[in-house]
Amino acid sequence: MKKKVIMSNDHAGVQLAQRLIEFLNKEGYEVDWLGTKTEESVDYPDMARKACEKYINTGGYEFGVLICGTGIGISISANKIKGIFCALPQNCFAAQMAKEHNNANFIAFGARIDYPQSPEEMLKSFINAEVSQSERHIIRRNKMFELEK
């Protein structure tokens, strides 16, 4: 059975979403794409909500991917939803640490951002990272969960 990923994007992220779906498929993932498929304007909070609520309510997904013009609006929106920890990495190291230290369950990208490394490379770093079982990181993650209350 293929591992599943959920993805959503606004109008700015259509092309990057298609690229990342192709990448994820090659990596052995099945992608549940809930984002818009046209460049007709949609609101990124709605796109974040759609993917995050399905992730929380349905289960069975390894992680989620969100895309808007900068990645900022869609990641802020996602992080308003209880149980979602969405990272907006700047490079491969940040993508790795998002999962390793923070156990992020969503990763966001900006389609209009010129990254020093490709979103595919950053996504691969995120996928390959293992969640740290170090006591200090567990304590910090638990404190993040407490902030949701």
Q: What is the DSSP letter of 117?
A: S
Helix (H, G, I), strand (E, B) or coil at 64: strand
Sequence letter at residue 107: I
Q: pLDDT by residue (tens digit) across 69-97?
A: 999 999 999 999 999 999 999 999 999 99
Q: So what's the pLDDT on residue 79? A: 97
Structure-token pair, residue 130? 């293992």
Residue 149: the pLDDT is: 82
- For residue range 8-29, what is the model confidence (pLDDT) as tens digits? 999 999 999 999 999 999 999 9
- The domain in which residue 130 lies consists of 3-147
The number of folded domains in the chain is 1
- Please give the positions annotated as active site: 68, 101
Q: What percent of the chain has pLDDT over 70?
A: 100
Q: What is the pLDDT of residue 2?
A: 87
Contact 126, 107 (CB under 8 A): yes
| pLDDT greater than 80 at residue 64 | yes
Residue 122 has pLDDT above 90, yes or no: yes
Rounded distance between C-alpha atoms, residue 40 and residue 92, angstroms: 31
Question: In the predicted model, is pLDDT for residue 1 greater than 80?
Answer: no
**Beta strand pairing call for 61-68 and 29-33:** unpaired
